[in-house]
Each structure stands twice: as structure tokens, then as C-alpha cells.
Amino acid sequence: MSICKKRAFEVLERISFERIAGTDKELEAANIIKAECEKYGVEAHLESFEIDMPEVISASLEVLSPTPWKINCVGIGKSGNTDECGVEGPLCYIENAMDANILDVAGKIVLATGRISPEQMKKIYDKGAKGYILVAGSLYDPEEMIPEIRTGNARKKADEDYNLPGVIIHITDAEKLLRSYPETLRLCLKQDGDKKGTSHNVVARIEGTEKKDEIIAFSAHFDSVIYSSGAWDNGTGSITIMELMHYFLANPPKRTVEFIWCGSEEIGLIGSKDFVEKRKEELNKYLFNINVDMTGVLLGFEIAVCSCEEAVAKYIDYLGKIEGFPISTRVDMYSSDSSSFAIAGVPAVTFARIQPRGGAEIHSRRDAMKYLDPDAFIKTVEFMAKFSDNFVNAKVFPVSREMPKQLAERMEQMKKMFEQSKKKEEKETK
């Protein structure tokens, strides 16, 4: 049997539980994937790597005046600590932290509702803010979801080690807070920001019949986030590449195919970064990376984001037309594990099935099996099998390692972020 949607969804059901980076549940999922490979005669092994796992011991946020009010919050890892009395100050709403938003933050606790860069955060600290508040969730979340706030770590550059305690609150509480015109807030945070944990990649390989030293790498992350079963993000991607493994078991490949289930993608592509770093001396053998991040949702549409020469995007578009498989393509960097390969010099592409506005959601309890469809899933797998087969078995491998100019700036930005992260890890281990 080659590709089988019944088998695929049975395995998907088994790994659809919280698989947070570095936890026992992530390791449990890794072992399920490993056992599934070995069940069909494919040797698989786990590769461990260290991750940041700051432990927030306590976090609180409250309005002291004019009307006392305790606000549900979670602490931001590696942001900083307060003493037992916390920090107090008036609230300053800084929106998305543009320079004009942060003119008067000294002595205040700031609230941001936009994405804050490391550079902006350092400016807020340098200008004398006492602490900060970020938001999560949707104004339309039901009551039971409001306490379910996803945690996160502070965004700091590798060479920065400043203390600016931060918490995350639900966006409905943020709106309520602003409408209450508070005079004084108190923020308390206690954490062990240096705590580490262990995460894992699962790696399996089918050797090529002719060109064993030329490798096509298939990847998908298998970790999820808190409060989410991770069925769609990215249980579906994980099972997609497993079905592609079955395809190449039934159709022996000329080139070697390697399957990498990446851990800790949700906290910064850590697993795929570790994978390419450990193989930096042999990356010339890796000709191409085919990454999958979310497939199989019933209401949705197909995309392929190519971090490689434009010819690949055009080929996918042409193949989609030939096969009657509607898919939109573009040349870009994608916020998934394909970026780790591309930045390391390996051409890459990510396939995904994206939801329409108002459709299925990720990173919450709404990421559930009920929004997925085996028929939609298998159509993507079958198309990817045709696409992959042509590349794996090409008489002359067609993809150049040269990256197009339009990717250069994006790649350079992400490369700098990766390098900063690596410097930070090296600094913390000294």
C-alpha cells in the first residue's frame, strides 16, 4: 500500500494532543512517529537538542486605583523579574510602539497591541519604562477561552541582557483596561529565566537506488502550543511527510530521501536550525528541502512558498494546471522550517493549505480534527507525491543553489536573527 488516507488519519488522531516544546508530551509524540516509521521497516532515530524553557514562578497584574481590579495574566519568559512588591506606575498605551508612541513612557507600565521588535523593546527600556504588557486572543473569543493565554519569551538581541518585566493578557481585558482609565497599576513577576530543557527531532531515511549521496529532505514540525491539540498545525504536515515516506517505500527513489520531523518549531524553528547546524559540513549533499506546514483543512486553498529560484514556483504552477490541482505559488521566505534550510544554502519550498478568513484557527483549542477532511488531505499528498517524484528521480537535478535577488534582503534579515539567537545560546552556556 502506498498512500492511504485511512492510515494517515488514524496516526493523526494518535498525535493530536498538546505537544509543547521540551515537554514529556512532545517526546511522546516523537516516539509515536519513530515507532510508526519502524513499524514499516524504516530506521528512525531521535536527535536531542537544548532549548530555553524559562520557568515563570508567579505573575500578577492589577489596577490599584481608582477601582482595584486583578487582571488574569501570564509572565513573559526571560523578560525580567520584580521584587516581591512588584513595580508600580501609570498605564501608557503605546499601540505598535512607533517612536511617536513611546515619547513618554518613563516610570510607566506600557501596553502594546502590535508586534514589538527587539529594537523597539530596547528603546522602551532605555526610555525608562517599568514594565510592559502584551496581548493575546481575539475580541470574539468565548468566555471559556479568555483565561487560555499562550505564553511566550521576550524578544531580545543576543547581546542584550536587561530587566524589563512583562506579562501577557487577553485582548478583551486590554480593552476593558483602557476603557477604565486606570491611574496606577502594579506588575509582579518572578521567574527562573535561565532554565533549559530538551527537545527532539525525529529523522528517518530511505537510501537511493542510484545516487545515495544526493539527498532530498522532507520536513514538518510536530510540536504544538499550549491549549491546542495541534491537529492541523502541524499534525497534518507531520502525517503528510509520513505518507510520502510510504510512497517512496512503495516506489524506491533514485536519490536518498530523508524525513525530518522537527521539534520546537513553535518557539523559533529551533529543531530545523539544529538539524542543519549539525550537518553544516555535509549540507552540499542536500539538494532540496520540501517542507509541509498544515494541510487537510476542509475549507481552504493550496499554496507553495518557494525559497529558491523562480523556476520551481513556475513548475509547481504548471504541474497544478496539468493535474487539475489549484495552487498559488510565490517566491518568498516562509515562517516555517524551510527557512532554516534556505538560510543554510539549501533551496526549499513549503506546501500548505490555508484557511479562508473566518475559517479554521491555529494556536488555540479551535485547532481540532473536526475542521479537517481526509479527502482534502489526500489530494495534497497525491499532488506532492507527483511533484516530489519528479525531483527525487530527475536524471539531472534541476534546482540551482543560487537564490534569487528578491529573496536576498529577507534572507539576510532572517540570517541575522538566527545568528543573534546562536550567539545568545553560546553566551548563556559559557
What pLDDT, on the 0 to 100 scale, is given for residue 204? 98
Q: Supply 3's cell numbers.
A: 498512500
Cβ neighbors of 335 (< 8 A, separation 6 or more) are none
Considering only CA atoms, which of 85, 73, 60, 69 is closest in space to residue 181? Answer: 69
Considering only CA atoms, which of 358, 378, 423, 429 is closest in space to residue 158? Answer: 423
CA quadruple 25, 195, 199, 237: dihedral sign: positive
If you classify domain 5-53+197-423 with CATH, what class do you get? alpha beta
Instruction: Please check whether residue 272 is in contact with residue 317, taking contact to mean a CB–CB distance below 8 angstroms.
Output: no
What is the b/e burial string over 368-396, where b = at least 16 CB atoms within 10 angstroms of the residue's CB? beebbbeebbbbbbbbbbebbbebbbbee
Instruction: Please check whether residue 261 is in contact with residue 238, taking contact to mean a CB–CB distance below 8 angstroms.
Output: yes
What is the b/e burial string over 36-51, where b = at least 16 CB atoms within 10 angstroms of the residue's CB? bbeeeebebebbebbb
If the chain, 430 residues long, is cut into consecutive pieces of 10 residues, what is the mean pLDDT of each piece?
92 98 98 98 98 97 97 97 97 98 98 94 98 96 93 89 97 97 98 97 98 98 97 98 98 98 97 98 98 98 97 98 98 96 96 96 95 98 98 97 85 74 57
What pLDDT, on the 0 to 100 scale, is given for residue 422? 61
What residues does each domain of the chain span?
5-53+197-423, 55-192
Say how far apart CA 191 and CA 383 lie, in whole Å: 48
What pLDDT, on the 0 to 100 scale, is given for residue 19? 98
What pLDDT, on the 0 to 100 scale, is given for residue 411? 81
Domain 55-192: give its CATH code.
3.50.30.30
What pLDDT, on the 0 to 100 scale, is given for residue 410? 80
